[in-house]
Amino acid sequence: MTAPTMTDLTGVPVPLIEPGSPEWLRCMSASKVAAVLGLNRFESPFSLWHRMKGNVAPDPDDAMKRRGHYLEPAIRNWFADQHPGWAVQTTGSWRHPDRPWQTASPDGLVILPDGTVEGFEAKSDDNDDQWGEPGTDQVPVGVRAQVQWQMDTIGTRRVHVAMIGAFLEFKAYVVDYDPDDVAVMREECSRFLDTLAADEQPPIDAHRATYTVVRELHPQVEDVKVEIPMHLAIDFRSACRAFDEAKTHKQLQTSLVGDAMGTARRCTDPTGEPVAIRISKNGGTPYVTAARPRSTT
């Protein structure tokens, strides 16, 4: 595989595509791909579909997005300091030359001393259990989908992913282009765009973003009564009972695991799979929360 230089890049530079703009509503950007594939913990296919239809506000602000925005320059500067002689520069949006709907707005490009151009992506994560050994390609599957889409759009063949974790630890990873992965992504994204054109809403799922959008779609409360199907009523009542029972059981297990952990920050099962992590926010008493599984990529 030939390493591309700036003149070899196949993507077409375009003005920066702002979230919520008419252009954003029509394109499939790298940040949307993980949601289409069901790999985004902040967005579901259902919520993304309604954002792209313009039914709800695009890209709502939250603490994690603000954290990433403020920390991105620090992550970029740290990465540049680790690689003297490499130029790490910002870039705008890009469009695929043959598929105008395929776009990407990476955090930057890396220019190596020999002129080779590679991608750069900065990430901030308040729970870094899905990130593997630095220097490998063991990044969360959603991040992998995003950078694969960037490479396919722009024409680069490697992306450097620098991240800062929950405890302000910097790490760097390297992801190479995988044409088989990208072929699946293109097919799924093309199908998703077809559902937008056909006005075929994705099914409601258990993702938190789905419920958030359901609430946004019905913001008013009218003093009326409606009848819902019996199976839906039965399932809802059953889920509520099971949830109450599960909360009690989870509280017990959390206390048992917290006691077994003592002062440790993390714990695993005998196979090494992450189980829980103790987190202290703003210097408060640590609490126990479930660790995300290790990435399989």
Q: How many residues does the chain have?
A: 297
Same domain, 175 and 272: no
Residue 297: pLDDT band by 50, 70, 90 thresholds? very low
Same domain, 134 and 263: no
Residue 296: pLDDT band by 50, 70, 90 thresholds? very low
Same domain, 121 and 247: no
pLDDT 10s digits, 11-40: 999 999 987 788 888 899 999 999 999 999
* Residue 103 pLDDT: 97
Q: Is residue 257 part of a domain?
A: yes
Q: Is residue 296 part of a domain?
A: no
What span, in angstroms and rounded, lies between the C-alpha atoms of 142 and 41?
8
Asked if residue 223 lies in contact with residue 76, where contact means CB atoms within 8 angstroms, the answer is: no
What span, in angstroms and rounded, lies between the C-alpha atoms of 182 and 97?
16
Residue 62: pLDDT band by 50, 70, 90 thresholds? low
pTM of the model: 0.81
Average pLDDT score over residue span 248-259: 97
Q: Is residue 49 part of a domain?
A: yes
Q: Is residue 295 part of a domain?
A: no
Query: How are the residues of the chain apportioned to helix, strand and coil, as percentages rounded to the nearest 5?
Result: 40, 20, 40
pLDDT 10s digits, 143-182: 999 999 999 999 999 999 999 988 889 999 999 999 999 9
CATH number at residue 145: 3.90.320.10
Residue 216 pLDDT more than 60?
yes
Nearest residue to 29 (alpha-carbon basis) of 90, 91, 94: 94
Residue 117 pLDDT more than 70?
yes
* Residue 10 pLDDT: 94
| Average predicted confidence (pLDDT) for the chain | 92
Domain extent at residue 275:
230-290
What span, in angstroms and rounded, lies between the C-alpha atoms of 144 and 141?
5
Residue 259 pLDDT more than 90?
yes
Same domain, 191 and 245: no
* Residue 172 pLDDT: 97
Average pLDDT score over residue span 116-123: 97
Q: Of 162, 179, 210, which residue constitutes the final position of a domain? A: 210
Same domain, 177 and 282: no
The total number of structural domains that make up the chain? 2
Return contacts of 111-115, CB within 8 angstroms, 24+ apart.
111/6, 111/86, 111/87, 112/86, 113/85, 113/86, 114/3, 115/5, 115/6
pLDDT 10s digits, 273-286: 999 999 988 889 99
Q: Is residue 223 part of a domain?
A: no
Nearest residue to 120 (alpha-carbon basis) of 134, 133, 131, 106: 106
Q: How many CA atoms lie within 13 A of 227 on its CB side?
A: 2
